[in-house]
């Protein structure tokens, strides 16, 4: 296994593989997302501007990926909750998704991808905090698998804290064909000096 770092237009060379990965994994709980290939290609093309994509490759196969971009470059649905909470989106780097094929999970690759992305972003020295979002589902949801381990546990293990009052509403089509708005909660983690990042006060 190796990690391949994609910046700028390099992302375009892997659009189909990334789109397939998203479509496959996001069908799972808690997303239950019924997406279309062209929509995924269009969304992922946005990372060719200011985004960053890291791929976990196993003999050329895309086993996993993590994506990120400056929060201020994300859609208004993700930026507005920060502004409404009195926070400056420009200070946040948004980690869009961390995806792993089922047979590569619980082997440490999620942690490696996240650590490498944080390192690369931190070296730029432009942001004071990382942030990411998780889907809110009731524990009694009928599609919740037995033994399901919420991603929130992974967030806490890697130093992310839930942000109070920062919530987004994002609609998408579920596997039953219904389109409904989903609540997303945000988590954050400070990027602290002297590791190349800015402190909360914006000073190096």
- Find the CATH number of the domain harbouring 88: 3.40.630.30
Is 119 a residue whose pLDDT tops 50? yes
Name the nearest CA neighbour of 133 among 88, 84, 93. Answer: 93
pLDDT number for residue 193: 52
Q: Is residue 202 part of a domain?
A: no
pLDDT tens across 152-168, in order? 999 999 999 999 999 99
Per-residue pLDDT for 101 more than 70?
Answer: yes
Cα 167 from Cα 110, distance rounded (Å): 24
The count of domains in the chain is: 1
Q: Is residue 196 part of a domain?
A: no
Query: Is the pLDDT confidence value at 49 over 90?
Result: no
Question: Which of 175 and 196 is assigned the larger pLDDT?
Answer: 175
What is the pLDDT at residue 192? 67
Q: Is residue 182 part of a domain?
A: yes
Confidence of residue 50 (pLDDT cuts 50, 70, 90): confident
| Domain containing residue 63 | 2-190
38 lies in some domain? yes
How high is the pLDDT of residue 199? 44
Residue 199 lies in a domain: no
The mean pLDDT of 63-73, rounded to a whole number, is 96
DSSP string, 121-189: HHHHT--SEEEEEEE---TT-TTPPTT---HHHHHHHTT-EEEEEEEEEEEEEBTTS-EEEEEEEEEEE
Residue 118 included in any domain: yes
């Amino acid at each position: 296994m190796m990690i391949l770092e994609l910046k700028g237009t390099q992302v375009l060379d892997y659009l189909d593989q990334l789109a397939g990965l998203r479509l496959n994994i996001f069908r799972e709980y808690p997303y239950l997302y019924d997406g279309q290939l062209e929509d995924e290609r269009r969304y992922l093309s946005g990372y060719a501007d200011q985004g960053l994509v890291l791929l976990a490759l196993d003999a050329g196969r895309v086993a996993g990926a993590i994506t990120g971009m400056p929060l201020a470059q994300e859609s208004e649905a993700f930026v507005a909750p920060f502004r409404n909470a009195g926070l400056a989106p420009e200070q946040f780097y948004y980690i869009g998704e961390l995806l792993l094929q089922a047979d590569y999970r619980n082997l440490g690759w999620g942690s490696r991808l996240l650590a490498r992305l944080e390192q690369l972003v931190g070296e730029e020295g432009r942001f004071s905090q990382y942030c990411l979002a998780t889907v809110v589902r009731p524990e009694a949801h009928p599609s919740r698998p037995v033994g399901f381990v919420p991603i929130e546990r992974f967030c806490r293990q890697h130093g992310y804290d839930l942000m109070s009052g920062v919530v987004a509403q994002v609609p998408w089509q579920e596997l039953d064909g219904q389109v409904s708005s989903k609540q997303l909660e945000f988590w954050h983690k400070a990027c602290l000096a002297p590791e190349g990042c800015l402190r909360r006060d914006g000073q190096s």
